[in-house]
Amino acid sequence: MASLFRDKRGTDQRFDVNLSILFTELPLLERPAAAAAAGFTAVELWWPWVETPTPPQAELDALKQALDEAGTQLVGLNFYAGQLPGPDRGALSVPGEESDRFRANIDVAADFAASVGCKALNALYGNRVEGVDPQVQDTLALENLVLAARAADRVGAILLIETLNKPESPLYPLVSAPSAIEVVDKVNAATGVGNAKFLLDLYHLSMNGEDLNEVIAAYADRTGHVQIADNPGRGAPGTGDLDFVDLLGRLRKAGYDGWTGLEYKAGDRPSAGSFEWLPQPLRAAN
């Protein structure tokens, strides 16, 4: 694959690698070093312990050590969200055990983020549950998001609210940029802290058929993090139809200067071979 960027025009965004979708051919603790070997100095993660919101402290310490030894900065971390990748797509709005597990995770995730200097925590909303009034789920979601926002604020982090896409997550209620922004506004109004932000995922938004240029123009100033994958296929930039030189340039011009997470599938090759589109000098944080 040829490089999409022949110079630095339109690429002032700082790129990080999502280690929950890339380098998954390796054990978790080997992934930070693999990302560093590929030239990246920043990484992000979904909640790594899908079976438990409260892993043993020794496992948290081991991940911190792996990040430190690789010289990689963790710049984004999901709160517990059930089985990812998989059908669950979030826990915080699911009444009963899943909501309880999310609450048990809030301080664990926030404290781990603080221990590694991570400044962004992502809270996936949760699927609609058959037989449960959506308003009941939305009320529960707001209660849990308020708790999460306050925990994030306690450690100097922001809370991210993410849009997914309806074709792949038909039960997930936040499948448009305005729907996520509405939740961001409700959380900020409820806490008074103002640290809830939009996670602008160009792949999910394009799968929903939204006009990406309009979304960037409307919400770049409300955006706390960006994630990218090409469409169709959720592969690396250059494997689909999205014009990332233009889109990332628009984000820069709109004032976004945060991290851009690479959240795509490597395909039938090792993850280290999926970065040809991004020259080495653009992979390390400036």
Catalytic positions are 162, 263
| 177 within 8 A of 161, measured Cβ to Cβ | no
Q: CA-CA distance, 216 to 214, in Å (whole number)?
A: 5
SS3 readout for the chain: CCCCCCCCCCCCCEEEEECCCCCCCCCHHHHHHHHHHCCCCEEEECCCCCCCCCCCHHHHHHHHHHHHHHCCEEEEEECCCCCCCCCCCECCCCCCHHHHHHHHHHHHHHHHHHHHCCCEEECCECCCCCCCCHHHHHHHHHHHHHHHHHHHHHCCCEEEEECCCCCCCCCCCCCCHHHHHHHHHHHHHHHCCCCEEEEEEHHHHHHCCCCHHHHHHHHHHHEEEEEECCCCCCCCCCCCCCCHHHHHHHHHHCCCCCEEEECCCCCCCCHHHHCCCCCHHHCCCC
What's at 139, amino acid-wise?
Answer: T
